[in-house]
């Protein structure tokens, strides 16, 4: 570049500020604090800690998935693949929807992504502009709120109702009243992390009808749809959706198939979404790892007994948790119908950060503070119970060292 007087001046101007220090986008310094991540890091430093603060089971990925992946690697599946996924995997996901959800979803609406989180980012960034409003039902996994912040859309939180007899529930009028002329989308996690609250088929139908009439997008996170304690899956938006509805479904291999570290998920979009999502994925991440997608195919083809076995173990852990909470007398929780989270409150402990910190310091048990899940939940704590029976017992003993019986 030729140095002109005006260049020189602007360089002089910049020298007044600290232009040599690396500066990042302002949206990053404006991100809201993540108390869950903060407590997780705090717990990690302690030798002997039992961590039930993160959302994953303690079983490694089963051999039939690992073996299929290894075979793919040996077979040279190590090159770039189509951005929206290997065609056989897209077909396998379509087959999965046909057999488990009785839904006919063509492969042109199914996009393989490197994680459920990536599927969520693709869904959001393909529809949200700066300043749009998105309604999120809370409590909600903090990372989804963070993903909204990155889009610079404005998030309106609509909290679930809670009462001791019925547990968590959605007031549909509150949800609909939150809609304004700027509302672009609603974000609904069903079954919900952290509460286990699961939308009924009737609620799904009503919300879908409302959104259709108002021209609002629904982003439904159905990552926990197979972790249910009655039946084999939760009600899905796909049970009622038409191909041209403004609907994205986020899903993942992480939770159902013990594949959290694999970073593989998928997105289902409307009939006209293949081109925009492909373009976005192309410039964003160029698609998921090729060889790993062969493991995902094996998961969908042969994974049903594994899911059933896991859910059986988690159900018996949940029985244990309910029994111990009841005997404790100070811990309040309505039995969740789905997911592997116990989201509870403790009588006389309104400050979840204080409680989580003392659990780490005094009994080496790391849990997630409720305040990380939205404005509504400062008095709550989340514990993942997707561990072995022995570890669960040990964790409950440690919890009761701090939360002593009434
Ligand atoms: C509701 C919800 N959606 C998405 C994810 C992320 O899934 P993945 O591991 O595929 O990124 C999680 C993980 O905890 C979650 O709780």
pLDDT of amino acid 5: 52
Nearest CA to ligand 1 atom 10: 116
N- to C-terminal Cα distance for the chain?
A: 75
Ligand 1 centre distance from Cα of residue 20 (Å): 38
Determine the pLDDT at residue 6: 53
Strand partners, 250: 221, 267
**Among 119, 254, 372, residue to substitute to test ligand 1 (most atoms within 8 Å of Cβ):** 254
The atom of ligand 1 lying closest to the CA of 115 is 10
The proportion of the chain whose per-residue pLDDT surpasses 90, expressed as a percent, equals: 90
Give tens-digit pLDDT for 163-199.
988 999 999 999 999 999 999 999 999 999 999 999 9
Spatial distance between the Cα atoms of 249 and 176, rounded to a whole number of angstroms: 20
Q: Helix, strand or coil for residue 51?
A: strand
Nearest alpha carbon to residue 357 among 45, 139, 146: 45
CATH class of 29-60+305-400: alpha beta
**Ligand 1 pocket at CB < 6 A:** 55, 115-117, 141, 189, 193, 221, 223, 252, 254, 260, 265
Please say whether the beta carbons of 247 and 205 come within 8 A.
Answer: no
The pTM assigned to this predicted structure is 0.94
Which residues, 6 or more positions from 148, have their beta carbon under 8 angstroms from its beta carbon? 124, 128, 134, 136, 155, 187
Give the CA angle between residues 106, 115, 371 to the nearest 5°. Answer: 120
Q: Is the pLDDT of residue 130 over 60?
A: yes
Helices (H), 267-388: 274-284, 290-302, 304-328, 352-363
The CATH architecture annotation of domain 63-303 reads: 3-Layer(aba) Sandwich (3.40)
- The count of other CB atoms within 10 Å of the CB of residue 160 is 21
Q: Which of 52, 141, 220 to mutate to test the pocket of ligand 1 (most atoms within 8 A of CB)?
A: 141
pLDDT surpasses 90 at 286:
yes
Find the 243 Cα to ligand 1 centroid distance in Å: 25
Q: Tokens 């959302």 correspond to what residue?
A: 55
CA of 11 to the centre of ligand 1 (A): 45
Report the candidate in 81, 105, 59 with the shortest Cα–Cα distance to residue 387.
Answer: 59
Q: What burial letters (b/e) apply to 302-315, b meaning 16+ CB within 10 Å? A: ebbebbeebbebbb
Whether residue 12 is predicted with pLDDT greater than 60 in this model: the reply is no
How far, in Å, CA of 333 to CA of 325, rounded? 8
- In whole angstroms, what is the distance from residue 119 CA to residue 111 CA? 8
pLDDT-derived band at 4, boundaries 50, 70, 90: low
Q: How far is the CA of 386 from the centre of ligand 1 (A)?
A: 15
Instruction: Tell how far the Cα of 194 is from the centroid of ligand 1, in angstroms.
Output: 11
**Exposed e or buried b per residue across 216-231, where buried means at least 16 C-beta atoms within 10 angstroms of its C-beta:** bbbbbbbbbbbbbbee
Ligand 1: which of 57, 117, 197 to mutate, most ligand atoms within 8 Å of CB?
A: 117
Q: What's the gap in Å between 269 CA and the centre of ligand 1?
A: 18
* pLDDT of 7 above 60: no
C-alpha of residue 143 to centroid of ligand 1, in Å: 8
Ligand 1 center–CA 46 separation, angstroms: 26
Q: Which atom of ligand 1 is nearest to the CA of 252?
A: 10
pLDDT tens digit sequence for 92-129 = 999 999 999 999 999 999 999 999 999 999 999 999 99
Which residues lie below 8 Å from residue 249, measured CB to CB, with a gap of 6+? 220, 222, 236, 237, 238, 267, 268
Q: How is the chain split into domains, by residue range?
A: 29-60+305-400, 63-303
């Amino acid at each position: 570049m030729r140095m002109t007087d005006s260049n020189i001046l602007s360089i002089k101007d910049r020298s007044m500020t600290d232009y040599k220090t690396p500066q990042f986008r302002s949206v990053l310094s404006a991100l809201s604090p993540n108390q869950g991540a903060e407590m997780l890091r705090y717990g990690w430093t302690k030798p002997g800690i039992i961590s039930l603060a993160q959302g994953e089971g303690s079983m490694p990925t089963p051999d039939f998935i690992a073996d299929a992946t290894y075979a793919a690697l040996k077979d040279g599946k190590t090159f770039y693949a189509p951005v929206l996924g290997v065609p056989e995997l897209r077909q396998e996901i379509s087959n999965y929807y046909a057999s488990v959800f009785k839904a006919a979803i063509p492969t042109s609406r199914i996009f393989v992504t490197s994680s459920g989180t990536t599927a969520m980012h693709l869904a959001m960034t393909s529809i949200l502009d700066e300043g749009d409003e998105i309604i999120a039902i809370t409590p909600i996994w903090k990372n989804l709120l963070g993903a909204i912040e990155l889009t610079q859309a404005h998030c309106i939180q609509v909290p679930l109702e809670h009462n001791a007899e019925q547990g968590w529930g959605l007031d549909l009028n509150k949800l609909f009243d939150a809609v304004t002329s700027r509302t672009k989308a609603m974000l609904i996690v069903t079954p919900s992390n952290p509460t286990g609250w699961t939308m009924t088929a009737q609620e799904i139908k009503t919300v879908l009808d409302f959104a259709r009439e108002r021209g609002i997008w629904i982003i439904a996170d159905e990552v926990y749809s197979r972790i249910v304690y009655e039946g084999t899956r939760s009600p899905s938006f796909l049970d009622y959706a038409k191909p041209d509805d403004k609907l994205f479904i986020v899903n993942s291999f992480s939770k159902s198939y013990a594949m959290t570290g694999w970073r593989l998920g998928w997105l289902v979009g409307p009939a006209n979404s293949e081109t925009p999502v492909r373009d976005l994925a192309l410039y964003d991440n160029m698609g998921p790892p090729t060889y790993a997608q062969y493991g995902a195919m094996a998961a969908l083809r042969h994974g049903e007994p594994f899911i059933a076995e896991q859910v059986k173990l988690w159900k018996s852990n949940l029985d244990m948790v309910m029994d111990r909470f009841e005997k404790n007398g100070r811990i309040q929780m309505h039995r969740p119908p789905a997911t592997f989270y116990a989201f509870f409150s403790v009588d006389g402990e309104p400050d979840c950060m204080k409680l989580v910190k003392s659990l780490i310091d005094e009994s080496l048990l790391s849990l997630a503070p409720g305040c990380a899940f939205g404005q509504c939940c400062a008095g709550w704590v989340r514990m993942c119970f997707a561990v072995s029976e022995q570890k669960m017992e040990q964790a409950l003993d440690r919890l009761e060292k701090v939360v002593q019986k009434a």
